[in-house]
Amino acid sequence: MRAPLAPRSVNDLRVDDDQILRAEIHTTKGKGTNGKERKRVTQQESTLEPAMDWFINADVRPGVGCRRKVVNIFFDNEAAESDHRSCNTLSPDGCPRCVVPTSDICCDIHSPDFFAPYSVVIPPQSKRPSRSRISGFTMSSDDLALVNALEDWREGTTISLHGEGFLCDLGPGLVMPTKVLDRIVTCAHAHKIKTVANLQKETSWSGAEHYGHQIVSLVLQHLPIPVIAPLFTSAPLPRSNGVAPSPLTTLAPKPTTRRQIRCSACHGEGHNARNRDCPSHPSRRPTDTHNKENAGQLALQ
């Protein structure tokens, strides 16, 4: 019978006895590196401290099954002695104020109903759409006019919301940061802002939901979307003599005719050399017996 293999890692170890768990925790407890031995550890090289590993995975570690057990062993809580009896020697139970109360709640493994309200569910994060990459450009007069219009808008909005004092102390960036303004002008130059959704995607501005329609209106007012003429039209083009072609004179596509096969024996069309319709087919030639009979008659003569 093959002897059982020794556990290869801490994860494979079955802790049926608290002494084994205590030995595993205390052998790694307090281990660290001094200043000379400390080195830069990357994220791939970092490992979880064994005691924390036991605590997190107590429900799946064989023989543990309790997070409070790991905490008590790690901090050696059982070695602490209460002095409530020394405080009040007249009572056999000692001092009721100094005695360490025993909790009826153990951990989330043994008391799941108590910890249910504290469970955290992390919602899935939706990926934010990527912004457009726009190369550098030279501002035109329309771009500068849009900059001035946005400056006037954010200054007026700051005054209407917070007053002139906030405008003098904190500036118009309180409503729209300068970085957002520059991004709006850059995207407007490339005609990337047509709707409020485009504004939110390109700038991630927190005020886009409340003031998006006003900003989009300013953008389209100074830098409207160019209208591109269609390259193709369904209307017939006039002839050089100025008379439009009638529908009856339009050329219809010619029907495609299938190419016929050609025989390699007689060079005729519509069949091949294996077809019995071919004049050169072996079935149409005289047989060898008929030739022999003719040859015998000729010999007798």
> pLDDT of 199-208, one tens digit each?
999 999 999 9
In this predicted model, what pLDDT tens digit does every residue of 143-167 receive, in sequence order?
999 999 999 999 999 999 999 999 9
pLDDT of residue 45: 53
In this predicted model, what pLDDT tens digit does every residue of 29-54 receive, in sequence order?
655 545 444 455 454 556 778 888 88
Average pLDDT over residues 87-109: 84
Q: How far is CA 107 from CA 21, 68, 83, 86, 184, in A?
A: 18, 6, 26, 31, 53
pLDDT of residue 215: 96
Look at residue 229 and tell me whether its pLDDT is greater than 80: no
Kindly indicate the confidence band of residue 216, based on its pLDDT and cuts at 50, 70 and 90: very high
The identity of residue 6, as a single letter, is A
Q: Which residue has the tokens 């020794």?
A: 6
pLDDT above 70 coverage of the chain, percent: 73
The whole-model pTM stands at 0.43
For residue 264 the two structure tokens come to 């390699």
Count CB-CB contacts under 10 A for residue 284: 10
pLDDT of residue 19: 76
pLDDT of residue 272: 78
pLDDT of residue 263: 82
The Cα 264–Cα 278 span in angstroms is: 10
Count CB-CB contacts under 10 A for residue 128: 9
- Top-confidence residue, 190 or 278: 190
pLDDT of residue 261: 82
- Top-confidence residue, 84 or 116: 116
Look at residue 251 and tell me whether its pLDDT is greater than 70: no
